[in-house]
Amino acid sequence: MIAVAAGLAVDGRLDRHWVLRGVTVFLAICCAALLLTDQTRRLRQIVTAVGLAMFGLIIPVSQTAWSQPPEIKFALQVATDAKAAAQKAARSTVAVADVKAAAEARGGAVGSLPTEKTPQVRGADAYPLIVRAKRDQGRPWACVSFKNLDAEVRSC
């Protein structure tokens, strides 16, 4: 139950770890079934109890805690603001300009930070866009893309 709750606690716009979450829920259910049905050997009970704790508690909770670092939270806020701007303008798609305006309004920027090594800005003209939480900070950043009004946020 904790594994399912931890999976549902993560924002649906994040495209992270869904396969791994499904596998851990399946393994937690298998360990619980073994623990309930097989009472023959003490060692087997200990192994399945440890497996249940790992797959049902530790891995799902740690994945949920790690799923939203600051750059991902910023990108989710920018995605929400850009979607609201597109809806306000009565458009069915979110434009790159909407994302840029939303990021700048929150104090961030879109695109990679130009440096001496890589002077060309990447991820500022087409999806997936690189969203930075601070204008003058390079990494860490997140990638945002839209399909119509549906956002997808991931680390990049």
Question: How does pLDDT run across 109-132, given as a tens digit for each residue?
Answer: 888 878 788 778 777 788 888 888
Query: pLDDT grade, residue 17 (50/70/90)?
Result: low
Once rounded to an integer, what is the mean pLDDT over residues 64-79? 80
CA-CA distances (angstroms) from residue 130 to 15, 22, 39, 135, 138?
15, 28, 53, 12, 10
Give the CA angle between residues 42, 48, 54 to the nearest 5°: 140
More confident residue, 129 or 16: 129
Q: Of 75, 103, 98, which Cα lies nearest the Cα of 85? A: 98
Question: How does pLDDT run across 18-66, given as a tens digit for each residue?
Answer: 677 778 788 888 877 877 776 677 777 788 888 878 877 787 777 776 6
Q: What is the pLDDT of residue 136?
A: 82
Query: pLDDT grade, residue 84 (50/70/90)?
Result: very high
Q: What is the pLDDT of residue 13?
A: 60
Helix 18-37 / helix 59-66 crossing angle, nearest 10 deg: 160
Residue found under tokens 């979110």: 94
More confident residue, 40 or 103: 103
CA atoms of 43 and 92, how far apart (whole Å)? 58
Q: What is the pLDDT of residue 30?
A: 81
Once rounded to an integer, what is the mean pLDDT over residues 67-77? 81
